[in-house]
Amino acid sequence: MPNRSALRPVAALLGLSLALAACESAPVTGRQQLILLPEGQAQQMGVEAYQQIKAEQGVSSDERYTGPVNEIGRRIAAVSGQPDLPWEFTVIDDDEPNAFALPGGKVGVNTGLFKVAKTDAQLAAVMAHEVGHAIARHSAERVSRQVLVQVGQQAVGAQYPGMAEVLAQASTLGLILPFTREQESEADHIGLMLMAKAGYDPRGAVELWRNFDALGGERPPEFLSTHPAPGSRIADLEAIMPQALAEYERSPYRQG
């Protein structure tokens, strides 16, 4: 039998977590969240990481990239529900087709993304996805989840030292990776609604992931990945597309 005293901190922290989780909910989806990291601390960490990335990777001043990134970012931030965040949209000089978001409204778009995002709507799909991460405080939520997992691992590992490695692997496969994929899917959902509200055709999100799928390259099996497979993302986006199209039709930013 496990030592009950070793499990008491876990039970106490889980009880606190459940209480806190009821106080937070993700925008658009309404999913209940556990966030232990204070907003101010998370934003400070985000600013520091953002400055470091810009210094190490370099920032592009190419107007072909900076023009659409700033315009699309401005429109999406305006409809994000948090327009007063210190939003910053930067083009990073990196050939990897990727983008990222950090706490406090710091969004980076790699120059390499333009190999895949070929229209404003496709670029808006990526940027709205990243804004979705930011406004849902996904980074802080991941940190909070990892703290709980580590506390649980330490408590069980103290009682059963030989199981520490197995427990760590089980936690990664059974808790951390599925939760990260859930956040990615949620950012897709939030982003789809934001891009539609900002006047960008949400069908561009499906086109974007078809482009990523066509790009190829080696990918781990979905259950070993931090991100859903492109096919899964497309299916999920198509399922909520009618709602997004209705939002798009109502958008005052819509052109044509």
Question: In this structure, how many other beta carbons lie within 10 angstroms of the beta carbon of residue 67?
Answer: 11
Instruction: Give, as one character, the DSSP assignment of residue 112.
Output: G
Place of tokens 């190419």: 62
Q: Which residues are catalytic?
A: 130
Of 212, 223, 234, nearest to 96 (Cα)?
A: 212
Strand partners for 102: 106
Long-range contacts of 11-17 (CB under 8 A, 24+ apart): 13/148, 13/151, 14/148, 17/144, 17/148
E-state strands within the chain: 24-25, 32-33, 88-92, 99-102, 106-110
User: Which is it for strands 106-110 and 32-33: parallel, antiparallel or unpaired?
Assistant: unpaired
